[in-house]
Structure 1
Amino acid sequence: MPSGKIMKALSGFYYVKDESRIIQCRGRGVFRNQGITPLVGDQVRYQAENDQEGYVLEIEDRKNELVRPPIANVDQAVLVFSAIEPNFSTSLLDRFLVLVESHQITPVICISKMDLLTEEQTVKIEQYAKDYEDIGYTVLRSSAKWEDGLDTLIPYLEGKISVFAGQSGVGKSSILNALRPDLDIKTDQISSSLGRGKHTTRHVELLAIGSGLVADTPGFSALEFSELELEELPFCLPEIAHFGEQCKFRACLHINEPKCAVKAAVEDKKIPSYRYKDYQQFHEEIKTRKPRY
């Protein structure tokens, strides 16, 4: 039975690529009965009716999967956040980082639209970038107009499946167009009334860039921690996990516990205060989340 990777999912069809061709497949009814949905990035076994059409029969084990965007077997996430238009948001970036960390996916932060900043704004964004680099994250600065800036991104894409994600209107599609001009992905201007971009990407698709595969995904502006448990949250922020090892109590959640090394690190400015505030907010959201039945 031939096997391949789902490169695109659109209108109930799955486009499976093997070594020599792309087959348009439907999923067998057994997936619906089992509550399973084939995802872009899945390695699957299929049966070809002819050279163009077939059916997905089996999905191989996934190493990870995301719900929003719906994609599987991701090696890394390139989180694209604009320096301006819309304004750089540490709280939203931290949401993405926690989600990515919870799925054991390596994040790469890419700050776009750097060419639009004033000198004063550049100083502020560079301080944020340094904060995240000190935590241990890779932070790239880019502009779709700067070829050199994009050149720094290309080595990170080689040989990997990368998902491009981030706030709508930050320039994800523009960056992909600059990396591969033949794609001609549609881009829209920022809405002046909403202060955010229109959703220009309607489906998930893996695109070949160099020796890597990149997913252009629908933009979105909200994330919920529907699967993350309170005990897991501290380990999704590397600096909190690091200082948490020094807490008096092993099960310390770094909120109200005494002799908490994390809270001490915040006071000593070893952890950025905005990161800890985001941690507190995420903790409260998970704590007050409605139970799932």
Structure 2
Amino acid sequence: MPSGLIVKALSGYYYVLPEHTTELESIQCRARGIFKKRGVSPLVGDRVAYELTDNGEGTVMEILPRTSELIRPPIANVDQVVLVFSVNEPALNLPLLDKFLVHTESAGLETVICLTKRDLWASPEAGEEEASSLDAASVPQSLDEVVRLYESIGYTVILTSAKEGIGVERVLERLSGRISVFAGQSGVGKSSLLNAMIPGLRLETNEISMKLGRGKHTTRHVELLRLPGGGIVADTPGFSQLDFLQVDADGLGACFREFAAYSSRCRFRGCLHLHEPDCKVQEAHGLGLIADSRFSSYTQFLEEIRDQKRRY
């Protein structure tokens, strides 16, 4: 039975690129009904076994074991996630960035932070209102401070501008030889960056809505794209909200990398780092060793998880 890679899922069809061939055309497939009965759905990035049908299409017969899985965006077998956030238009939203980081950490995926639209930060308008271009809840007041904060935690941060070609080659280097996924809110420039990296791609892009402060969903489905020089990247629809269905209160602290050096020395096992006595994470925050914006995100997310649990 031939095998292949699902490169796109759209309107109930799965487009499978055959493996071990030079064929570049994907095969349009339906999935076996047994998957629905089992509560399982094939995902973009899945390696699958399929059978050809008489009409030249195919049927996905088996989903091969996954190395990783994300619920939102729905994709399997990626090596790393590139979180794409703009420095302006829409304003840089650090709590949302932290929320995305919780999800990638819980999935055990390597993460790169890509800050787009660097050219807008350098504009006179951005220079006059530098602090306001960051989310109001965030503590860092300059782009350099944001970069230093996340690099100090252990993340790679790349500043880019698709318009001016800044950082594009560096992003390509990080994607080379890997299966990666681009994720982030709407209007941050994911499609523009991919257009700059892949000659002739011409993904649809839209201007940011200044009234709403966010972009339109120019990408409407998850699709794998081949990169020049090797590697595969998935473009995903933008979104402004994530829930915590896969993360519980006890596991949230482990998704904040900078907590690890202190949490192992907390008095109580399973410490939630809120009001417990002799909590080393609270102590580190009080000493300025954990950033206010990050600790604020942690406490906010913990409350969201508790509210979600109460609802269900």
**Shorter-chain TM-score: which interval?**
over 0.9
Aligned to 1:86: 90
Please give the root-mean-square deviation of Cα atoms over the aligned residues, in Å: 1.6
Aligned to 1:149: 167
The 2-side partners of 1:137 and 1:125 are apart by: 15
For 1:157, the aligned partner's letter is L
The 2-side partners of 1:191 and 1:92 are apart by: 19
* Count of paired positions: 293
1:23 equivalent to 2:24? Answer no
Matches for 1:185-204 after TM superposition, within 5 Å? 185-204=203-222
Q: Is the 8 A contact 1:78 1:107 kept in 2?
A: yes
Q: Secondary structure at the match of 1:152?
A: helix
Aligned to 2:244: 225
Aligned to 1:3: 3
Q: Secondary structure at the match of 1:191?
A: coil
Residue 66 (structure 1) shift? 1.5
Q: Secondary structure at the match of 1:36?
A: coil
Q: Deviations over 1:101-133 (max 9, x none)?
A: 111111100000111114573970110110000
Work out which of the residue numbers 296, 299, 303 in structure 2 matches 1:284. 303
The 1-side partners of 2:265 and 2:142 are apart by: 31
Work out which of the residue numbers 179, 192, 196 in structure 1 matches 2:197. 179
Residue 213 (structure 1) shift? 0.7
Q: Secondary structure at the match of 2:81?
A: strand
Range with bigger deviation, 45-54 or 257-266: 45-54
Residue 50 (structure 1) shift? 5.4
Residue 212 (structure 1) shift? 0.8
1:262 equivalent to 2:281? Answer yes
Q: Is the 8 A contact 1:23 1:51 kept in 2?
A: no
Aligned to 1:214: 233
The 1-side partners of 2:203 and 2:54 are apart by: 30
1:237 equivalent to 2:241? Answer no
Residue 287 (structure 1) shift? 1.6
Q: Deviations over 1:168-222 (max 9, x none)?
A: 1000000000001311000011112111000001111000013111001010000
Range with bigger deviation, 158-167 or 51-60: 51-60
Aligned to 1:39: 43
Q: TM-score, normalised by structure 1?
A: 0.96
Matches for 1:50-69 after TM superposition, within 5 Å? 52-69=56-73
Range with bigger deviation, 115-124 or 32-41: 115-124
Work out which of the residue numbers 182, 205, 212 in structure 1 matches 2:223. 205
The 1-side partners of 2:111 and 2:56 are apart by: 36
For 1:69, the aligned partner's letter is P
Q: Secondary structure at the match of 1:78?
A: strand
Aligned to 2:136: none
Residue 241 (structure 1) shift? 2.2
Matches for 1:97-108 after TM superposition, within 5 Å? 97-108=101-112
The 2-side partners of 1:86 and 1:148 are apart by: 19
For structure 1, which runs of at least 5 residues remain unmatched after alignment? Answer: none
| Identity within the alignment, % | 52
Range with bigger deviation, 207-216 or 241-250: 241-250
Aligned to 2:179: 161
Q: Is the 8 A contact 2:159 2:166 kept in 1?
A: no
Q: TM-score, normalised by structure 2?
A: 0.90
Residue 292 (structure 1) shift? 8.1
Q: Deviations over 1:70-99 (max 9, x none)?
A: 111111110000000011111000000001
Q: Secondary structure at the match of 2:285?
A: helix
Residue 291 (structure 1) shift? 5.5
Q: Is the 8 A contact 1:109 1:139 kept in 2?
A: yes
Q: Is the 8 A contact 1:77 1:162 kept in 2?
A: yes
Q: Deviations over 1:136-186 (max 9, x none)?
A: 011000010232410111111011111100111000000000001311000
The 2-side partners of 1:30 and 1:170 are apart by: 39
Residue 51 (structure 1) shift? 8.7
For 1:29, the aligned partner's letter is G
For 2:251, the aligned partner's letter is E
The 2-side partners of 1:159 and 1:171 are apart by: 23
For 1:5, the aligned partner's letter is L
